[in-house]
A = this chain, B = another copy of it.
Amino acid sequence: MVERNPNLAKLRAGYLFPEIARRKKAVIEENPEAKIISLGIGDTTEPLSGGIVSSLVEACRGMGTLEGYSGYGAEQGMGDLREKIAEKLYRGIVKPEEVYVSDGAKCDTGRLQVMFGAEATVAVQDPSYPVYVDGSVILGQTGGYNDDASQFDGIEYMRCDASNNFFPDLSALPRTDLIYFCSPNNPTGAVATKEQLKELIDFAKKNRSILIFDAAYSAYIEDPELPRSIFEVEGSREVALEINSFSKMAGFTGVRLGWSVVPQELKFEDGTPVSKDWNRVVTTLFNGASNLVQKGGLACLSDAGYSEVEEMIHYYKTNATIIKKALTEMGLEVYGGVNSPYCWARMEGKGSWEAFEEILTQAFVVTTPGAGFGPAGEGFVRFSSFGHRDDVEEAVERLRKHLG
């Protein structure tokens, strides 16, 4: 008989967000009258703006005409979209041919793990987006789960908490092949400075590691001093690649569009460009993002479209300000919420799943328990600012009432 892949057996419970959805559903079943408000998963809620919808509609209509119909495109994405990403979002500091369009950062993370293979060793921020760890486990890059440590063996967890200003102590970190780093951070909302990223790059360079920089929330950075891309930092092209997405930038969580940037200078030990293997993985195991969706992405990056995108980002950031203000006034220790859509709050004296359950069952507000992002997230809860303004305001009132 076929043996189960032992790596899948190593995983604990389900992937975090389906688990939260399950618990939410259970509360709804018990309280059918309750209006649940979600500040949980980072899921956009506001309609796409007119210009972007028009472009999508035009793309669909085109598919009904002989001239406008298109079939398979390049797996790496439409040339004009790759160019526009390089020009508009990177102001030319990366080349169009270094941009690989995808169906999202989560899927790209999985394909990157496939490319690096089972022997790659891994460091992640703790806490961090669960896919870095879960995907590494599935690909066999780790040992088993260590119940005492609440960690997987064979992964370096770089503790990022209030005590170190959410930037890891690199002096204590053993060498790994890969270092995942997310800024603005999911879940803590911390944004790394140029100096911190330079330190990270120097560390990767010294160790000959590859930095996987997750910039999925970069559009939320308004402080001009904070880098939006790792490629704004000197020396990055030899040690880093970047993943990014239209999800949180343009409200495309359901529409599905992302990209990666793999610079030509990034090489494996034998001199093979990483881009060569990335290209092979992308062309072999992926078939391109939907042509309709890519047209929508192009519309987001026109001057008019990008203004609409920025308006939407401003809307969610105002939500973040409201949430942060309320939590702070309630006496909680709160991080993030500036240059980032996430607030990260310490729930003094409570486990994070306990706090999650309490907020869910008492205030009918869905959050995300910090422990779901790694052991250092224990005792914290993440509040997402994605939501309708009315809902966010109501959620905040309920939180004041039940937790205040």
Interface on A for B, CB 8 Å cutoff? 1-9, 11, 14-15, 17-18, 41, 43-50, 52-53, 56-57, 60-61, 63-66, 68-73, 75, 103-104, 106-107, 109-111, 114-120, 130-131, 134-135, 138-140, 177-178, 208-210, 251, 253-256, 268-270, 272, 277, 280-281, 283-293, 386, 388
With A253-B71, A280-B11, A283-B18 known as contacts, the answer to whether A3 contacts B269 (CB < 8 A) is yes
With A72-B254, A287-B256 known as contacts, the answer to whether A268 contacts B1 (CB < 8 A) is yes
Bound-complex Cα distance A274 to B46 (A) = 37
Q: Is the CB of A107 within 8 A of B286?
A: yes
Bound-complex Cα distance A280 to B134 (A) = 10
Q: Is the CB of A280 within 8 A of B115?
A: no
Contacts of A251 in B (CB 8 A): 69, 71
Q: Is the CB of B114 within 8 A of A114?
A: yes
Q: Which one of A5, A57, A73, A285 has the highest number of Cβ atoms from chain B below 10 Å of its Cβ?
A: A285
Contacts of A68 in B (CB 8 A): 47
Closest to A388 in B: B66
With A47-B66, A71-B44, A114-B114 known as contacts, the answer to whether A287 contacts B103 (CB < 8 A) is yes
With A47-B63, A269-B3, A270-B4 known as contacts, the answer to whether A284 contacts B134 (CB < 8 A) is yes
With A43-B71, A255-B63 known as contacts, the answer to whether A285 contacts B1 (CB < 8 A) is no
Bound-complex Cα distance A268 to B6 (A) = 11
Q: How many copies of this protein are present in the complex?
A: 2
Bound-complex Cα distance A104 to B255 (A) = 15
With A114-B114, A281-B8, A292-B56 known as contacts, the answer to whether A64 contacts B50 (CB < 8 A) is yes
Q: Shortest Cβ distance from A285 into chain B, in angstroms?
A: 3
Closest to A8 in B: B277
Q: Shortest Cβ distance from A4 into chain B, in angstroms?
A: 4
Partner of A63, one of B9, B56, B114, B177: B56
- Give 7 closest A-B pairs by Cβ, nearest first: A5-B117, A110-B285, A53-B64, A1-B269, A4-B268, A1-B208, A254-B291
Partner of A60, one of B57, B109, B115: B57
Q: Is the CB of B71 within 8 A of A48?
A: no
Q: Which one of A5, A61, A116, A210 has the highest number of Cβ atoms from chain B below 10 Å of its Cβ?
A: A5
Q: Is the CB of B65 within 8 A of A14?
A: no
Q: List 16 A-B contacts (CB under 8 A).
A: A4-B269, A4-B277, A43-B71, A47-B64, A47-B68, A48-B63, A71-B253, A71-B254, A72-B254, A73-B254, A104-B287, A109-B285, A110-B284, A115-B138, A256-B288, A256-B291
Contacts of A256 in B (CB 8 A): 103, 287-291
Partner of A138, one of B5, B104, B285: B285
Partner of A290, one of B61, B73, B293: B293
Q: Is the CB of A65 within 8 A of B41?
A: no
Bound-complex Cα distance A50 to B63 (A) = 10
Q: Is the CB of B60 within 8 A of A60?
A: yes
Bound-complex Cα distance A68 to B49 (A) = 13
Q: Shortest Cβ distance from A113 into chain B, in angstroms?
A: 8
Bound-complex Cα distance A118 to B52 (A) = 43
Q: Shortest Cβ distance from A25 into chain B, in angstroms?
A: 12
Contacts of A60 in B (CB 8 A): 53, 56-57, 60, 292
Contacts of A209 in B (CB 8 A): 2
Contacts of A280 in B (CB 8 A): 8, 11, 14-15, 138
Q: Is the CB of A117 within 8 A of B7?
A: yes
Contacts of A106 in B (CB 8 A): 285-287
Contacts of A291 in B (CB 8 A): 254-256
Q: Shortest Cβ distance from A35 into chain B, in angstroms?
A: 16
Q: Is the CB of B5 within 8 A of A131?
A: no
Contacts of A134 in B (CB 8 A): 284
